[in-house]
A = this chain, B = another copy of it.
Amino acid sequence: MDKIRVSIVGGSGYTGGELIRLLLFHPNVELKQITSESNTGKFIHKIHPNLRKTTLMKFCSISEIQECDLLFLCLPHNSSQNKIDTFNKLAPKIIDLSADFRLSDPSEYEKWYGHKHARPELLKEFVYGIPELHRSEMKTANYISSAGCNATASILALYPLYKNGLADEERTVVEVKVGSSEGGNKINEGSHHPERSGVVRSYAPTQHRHTAEIIQELSFNKKINIHFSATAIDLVRGLLATSHVFLKDNLSEKEIWKIYRDSYGEEPFIRIVKESDGIYRYPEPKLLFGTNYCDIGFKKDEFSNRLVVISAIDNLMKGAAGQALQAFNIMHGFDEKTGLEFSGLHPI
């Protein structure tokens, strides 16, 4: 079978780098071009030093991009929506890893991003990029918008409960603990190592934009609310979401097990992690570095109807490049795990 010819627009960031790494090892992909306006002509491995001796490709400019089968867009927010026609002329299929096409409702976009969307009529063309929720649409999709990392971990944690109408839709509090790679590779005062090291920084106690995605994906019968906060900790990769859900009915842990197993039992990248002994009883992000897994665990409060759901991902993998590749595999009928086999390291 011919390989799928693929190019990456915006390959110098952390998400772009992760995607390059994955695509170079994908047996059904021919990686054609990778753009970076600030690094045109440089070897890829000057920016992504893990790829030394893996590739001798160089960055090119967007203006040099040639026709191909599919474009991955890894541009900063608010870029894709302004250049989407250009990209669409180059490739019939597009997977956008920015936040530009995640929200289907233009008014929600404006509410959370503070400005009007440049191409509101296109929003409904994009499939939201979580395969566990939208696999069937992905199979025939030409446009996929990759989900936010915090949103991915939160949605996957809550989806079985919300889909089955089990949660009090007004009360859920979600708190994510995130690493520094989530902020991208642009330096700033807050990312200076002596300041950033060892922090427990409340960087978004309220108004985090990923909240909008969570609300969108979990509103089944009526629009729900999610109380979301994000705290940055001394980690580079990985995130843990702790979701405090108030159950309508006082379900047992056994019943909750069944609900999660029914939703995710066949999923290749979801693991239910809940053990009564050992060191790793609940999901642990460090075990997921480099993998596409979302690990999910839970604990029922014995004294109330609160259910604490714990979910972990690698923000650059299941939270970005890995999930985009999973969607790519689905679009093309490949085994969903192709190129995503890495099992993670222990200890790390």
Contact = CB atoms under 8 A, between A and B. Distances in A.
A163 interface: no
Interface stretch (A98-106, A122-130, A138-146, A188-196): A188-196
Contacts of A24: 343
Contacts of A344: 50
A304 B223 CA distance: 14
A318 interface: no
With a 10 A CB-CB cut-off, give which of A50, A197, A206, A239 has the most chain B CB atoms: A50
Contact of A189 (B275, B279, B290, B312): B279
Interface stretch (A30-38, A82-90, A228-236): A228-236
Nearest to A195: B279
With a 10 A CB-CB cut-off, give which of A173, A198, A300 has the most chain B CB atoms: A198
Interface stretch (A70-78, A179-187, A323-331): A179-187
Interface in A227-283: 227, 229, 231, 233-240, 242, 244, 271, 273, 275, 278-283
Nearest to A244: B173
A229 B304 CA distance: 13
A52 interface: yes
With a 10 A CB-CB cut-off, give which of A185, A279, A287 has the most chain B CB atoms: A279
Interface in A170-224: 171, 173, 175, 177, 179-181, 183, 185, 187-202, 205-207
B284 A199 contact: yes
Given A205-B299, A301-B206, A200 B312 contact: yes
Contact of A207 (B190, B235, B237, B303): B303
Copies of this chain, count: 4
A54 interface: yes
A82 to B, nearest CB: 27
B194 A181 contact: yes
A59 interface: no
Contacts of A52: 271, 273, 295
A252 B111 CA distance: 20
A235 B50 contact: no
Contact of A206 (B231, B287, B302): B302
B206 A289 contact: no
A343 B45 CA distance: 11
A229 B308 contact: yes
Given A198-B235, A231-B240, A49 B346 contact: yes
A130 to B, nearest CB: 19
Contacts of A297: 202
Given A282-B201, A297-B202, A51 B343 contact: yes
Interface of A: 14, 17-18, 21, 24-25, 46, 48-54, 171, 173, 175, 177, 179-181, 183, 185, 187-202, 205-207, 225, 227, 229, 231, 233-240, 242, 244, 271, 273, 275, 278-287, 289-291, 293, 295, 297, 299-304, 306, 308, 310, 312, 341-348
Given A193-B193, A233-B235, 15 more contacts: A25-B343, A52-B295, A175-B242, A183-B194, A192-B193, A197-B197, A198-B235, A198-B286, A202-B283, A202-B299, A206-B301, A225-B304, A229-B308, A233-B233, A289-B348
Q: List the 5 closest pairs (A to B, CB-CB), nearest first.
A: A194-B347, A205-B308, A193-B196, A200-B240, A50-B346
